[in-house]
């Protein structure tokens, strides 16, 4: 069992809870930028400054959350970013082949919706002070 999935008995400091809210906010800002500009949602999420700053904060503060329900949120946010980046790489590879372009656009839309879901689900769980269950 991963450390993030162990039930916590430690109440995290309010400042750390606020930090996780800020990180979700930064990710949401990237999604908003992608949805309201010529960028795609997933493109703005992976390459946008707010999300990059959010991931840096995640890595810098992750150790402070050990043993609390916030550890699962840090891991959730980091995994969301890196899996979105992986899917962007696959999308790029499809785009460079003429026949793969329709599949690439479908991936861009699908991954964008997945990113929105991950941010919303995580933020709702954080508001309820609940951990996120993360498989493997």
User: Is 128 in a helix, a strand, or coil?
Assistant: coil
Return the pLDDT at 39.
79
Question: pLDDT by residue (tens digit) across 2-54?
Answer: 454 444 457 889 999 999 999 999 999 999 999 898 778 888 889 999 999 99
The domain tally of the chain equals 1
Residue 98 resides in a domain:
yes
Return the pLDDT at 9.
59
Residue 7 resides in a domain:
no
Q: How far apart are CA 80 and CA 8, in angstroms?
A: 22
Residue 73 resides in a domain:
yes
- The tokens for 134 are 């993360």
Which domain covers residue 80, as residue numbers?
13-127
Question: pLDDT by residue (tens digit) across 83-120?
Answer: 999 999 999 999 898 888 999 999 999 999 999 999 99
Instruction: Record the pTM.
Output: 0.86
Residue 2 resides in a domain:
no
CA angle 82, 83, 88 (to 5 degrees): 95
Residue 19 resides in a domain:
yes
Residue 28 resides in a domain:
yes
Question: pLDDT by residue (tens digit) across 28-41?
Answer: 999 999 989 877 88
Residue 1 resides in a domain:
no
Residue 136 resides in a domain:
no
């Amino acid at each position: 069992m991963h450390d993030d999935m162990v039930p916590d008995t430690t109440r995290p400091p309010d400042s750390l809870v606020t930090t996780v809210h800020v990180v979700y906010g930064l990710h949401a800002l990237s999604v908003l930028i992608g949805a309201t500009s010529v960028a795609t949602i997933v493109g703005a999420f992976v390459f946008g400054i707010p999300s990059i700053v959010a991931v840096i904060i995640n890595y810098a503060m992750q150790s402070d959350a050990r043993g609390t329900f916030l550890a699962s949120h840090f891991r959730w946010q980091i995994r969301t970013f890196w899996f979105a980046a992986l899917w962007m790489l696959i999308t790029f590879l499809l785009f460079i082949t003429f026949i793969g372009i329709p599949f690439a656009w479908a991936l861009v839309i699908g991954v964008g919706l997945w990113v929105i879901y991950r941010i919303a689900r995580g933020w709702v769980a954080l508001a309820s002070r609940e951990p996120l269950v993360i498989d493997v």
